[in-house]
């Protein structure tokens, strides 16, 4: 078992659909003996309809996600954050990210009246890990896992999500942030890749740190908030 003394207590994992958030969160939680908090996005009864017709079903889909995520985040308060380690496969702000891509201007105006009321009492993670990948890699992973609800996801939609996520995390300052380029990472079949990330977590992260396992592309530094 990995020594977790220096590892942040509450870690949230984020990234675009298909990047491997849940797989990584499960592996990390097991490795550091943490409680696992999952988004459970496929419980959304409107999701399949949304992928078939985004304009028609965007608002109901997003509203269900918002309220569901709010309830799950509130449940984190039942955990003793000073005693237990928690790994989540989402941050509450992801809801706003998707809303900015999927909702019409009128729908977004209404959404933005609801969201601030709910997010006031949401606990902040001690560290956010942003798993990043190219659109091509994301589409390949989506096809490989072959989830029925995702079969009609378009390249254009994934492109828009990538742009929204990259823009969001470029300006992100709410918590320490570790950005991990995952195009060449396989957390399932390469245990060393997970071990590398855990070792990153043992080093204090101030502001942002960028990490890639490729020797030719490694960006490993801290930048001030």
Among 43, 35, 51, 41, CA closest to 83: 35
Closest CA to 97 of 75, 77, 119: 119
Closest CA to 198 of 76, 81, 30: 30
Residue 79 neighbours by CB under 8 Å, 6+ apart: 35, 86
The set of residues, in sequence order, having a beta carbon less than 8 Å from that of 109 and lying 6+ positions away, is none
Structure tokens at 86: 């928690």
Residue 97, classed as helix, strand or coil, is: helix
43 is catalytic: no
What is d(CA 192, CA 215) in angstroms, rounded to the nearest whole number? 14
Region class of 101: left (phi > 0), else alpha (psi between -120 and 50), else beta? alpha
Neighbouring-strand partners of residue 100: none
By the 8 A CB rule, do 145 and 125 touch? no
Distance CA 7, CA 190 (A): 21
Q: Are strands 208-211 and 222-223 parallel, antiparallel or unpaired?
A: antiparallel
Which residue is catalytic, options 3, 80, 84, 89? Answer: 89
Active site residues: 89
């Amino acid at each position: 078992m990995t020594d977790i003394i220096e590892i942040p207590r509450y870690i949230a994992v984020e990234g675009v659909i298909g990047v491997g958030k849940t797989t990584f969160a499960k592996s990390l939680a097991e490795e550091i003996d943490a409680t696992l908090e999952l988004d459970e996005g496929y419980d959304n009864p409107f999701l399949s309809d949304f992928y078939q017709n985004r304009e028609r079903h965007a608002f109901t889909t997003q509203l269900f996600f918002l309220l569901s995520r709010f309830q799950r985040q509130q449940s984190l308060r039942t955990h003793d954050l000073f005693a237990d380690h928690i790994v989540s496969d989402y941050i509450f702000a992801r809801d706003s990210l998707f809303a900015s891509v999927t909702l019409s201007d009128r729908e977004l105006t209404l959404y933005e009246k609801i969201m601030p009321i709910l997010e006031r009492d949401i606990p902040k993670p001690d560290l956010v890990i942003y798993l990043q990948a190219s659109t091509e890699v994301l589409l390949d992973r989506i096809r490989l896992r072959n989830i029925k609800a995702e079969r009609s996801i378009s390249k254009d939609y994934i492109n828009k999500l990538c742009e929204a996520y990259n823009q969001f995390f470029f300006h992100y300052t709410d918590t320490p942030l570790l950005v991990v380029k995952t195009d060449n990472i396989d957390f399932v079949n390469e245990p060393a890749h997970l071990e590398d990330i855990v070792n990153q977590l043992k080093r204090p992260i101030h502001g942002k740190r960028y990490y890639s396992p490729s020797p030719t592309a490694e960006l490993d530094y801290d930048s001030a908030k």
